[in-house]
Amino acid sequence: MALEDAKTEIDHAFTREDPRGLSFENPFAGAPSFLRRRYTKDLAGVDVAILGVPFDQAVTHRPGTRFGPRAIREISSLQPCDAPYGWGFSPLEEFTVVDTGDIAFDYAKTWEVPHAIEAAARRILDAGAAAITLGGDHSITLPLLRAHAAKFGPVALVQFDAHSDSWVDDDPERIDHGTFVYKAVKEGLIDVEKSVAIGIRTDNPDTLGITIIDAPEVHRAGPDGIARRVRDIVGEVPAYLTFDIDALDPAFAPGTGTPVWGGLSTGQAAIILRGLAGLDIVGGDVVEVSPQYDTTGATAVAGAHVATEIMCLWGWTRRG
């Protein structure tokens, strides 16, 4: 069936009639949307909306994550011909998932970008859909958290990262990918007692009450044990999952702006993410993919799989 469909399917991003279902379009051809989902701004009846935020003007080192959403969409074209491995259900067939494209913003007015991000996320949430966002640098998570906290109240933050991103920043006009957690805590957007950061391997002694599971602990304890610990910490409260691709070791994700050695492998990350099934994941993002630093495309591959895993985590408690 797949081979027959591949002969006729093309540009599913625009031509698919049924928003649900797998796609057998040749992965090397056609218009690249995330997982070959339909591009649309119409959110009526949508369960999950993929949102792109190509913003990278808040980085402390190498720029380039503005190209992350495009790279993730392009490389994801290899995935939608099968249900995600190991989950036991097919979210693309059970749910209506669309790609709502990127936000529009004036790149020369950076102070306006957080408001545009929050407004785009609120539009999705107000329509009754979940938002999974492709970044972009990690500063974009703060306005995304504002939108989610407005709907769900303070959320548990499940953060995969090499950095805590909780450095002190009391200037409301600054936009910085290294301070979004600090500001989110000070604004009351997250429940710190239910929040956890995984993969940390840079020094920042003030944890703000968030549980830190650093990368060496992941290596020593193993991913299954880490997943159990995260589930115990988060419990049953609504949770937002943010995955900075630099949580992965540079050997697995060299295409990022602030790489740090000693990180997670893609295998460890996959086991931990799947081990979180059952948490009430209400939204999430994958950020800091800078494809130009990675000639292999492996970083974008990891980003596409992480975004798919977030979709599966959201769907796990809502399937059937």
pLDDT tens column, 127-148? 999 999 999 999 999 999 999 9
What's residue 171's pLDDT? Answer: 86
In this model, does residue 114 exceed pLDDT 70?
A: yes
Average pLDDT over every residue of 180-199: 97
CA angle 95, 116, 160 (to 5 degrees): 60
Residues 24, 8: Cα–Cα separation, whole Å: 9
What is residue 212's predicted lDDT score, i.e. its pLDDT? 97
Residue 163 annotated in ligand binding: yes
Instruction: Give the model's pLDDT for residue 35.
Output: 97
**Known binder of ligand: residue 82?**
no
161 pLDDT tier (thresholds 50, 70, 90): very high
pLDDT value for 104: 96
Cβ–Cβ contacts within 10 Å for residue 170, how many? 9
Domain boundaries, the chain: 2-316
- Check pLDDT > 60 for residue 1: no
Q: Is 61 part of any known ligand binding site?
A: no
CA pair distance 74, 29, nearest whole angstrom: 10
Provide mean pLDDT across the span 258-281: 98
User: Any binding-site annotation on 126?
Assistant: no
Whether the pLDDT of residue 191 is over 90: the answer is yes
Which helix (H) or strand (E) is 134 found in, with range? strand 130-135
N-to-C CA span, the chain: 25
DSSP state, 88? S
**What distance in Å separates the CA atoms of residue 175 and residue 167, rounded to the nearest whole number?**
12
Band of the pLDDT at 2, cuts 50, 70, 90? low
**Has domain 2-316 been given CATH number 3.20.20.70?**
no
- Residue 161 annotated in ligand binding: yes
Evaluate if pTM is beyond 0.85.
Answer: yes
Contact criterion met (CB below 8 Å) for 13 and 99: yes
Asked whether residue 214 is marked as a ligand-binding residue, the answer is no
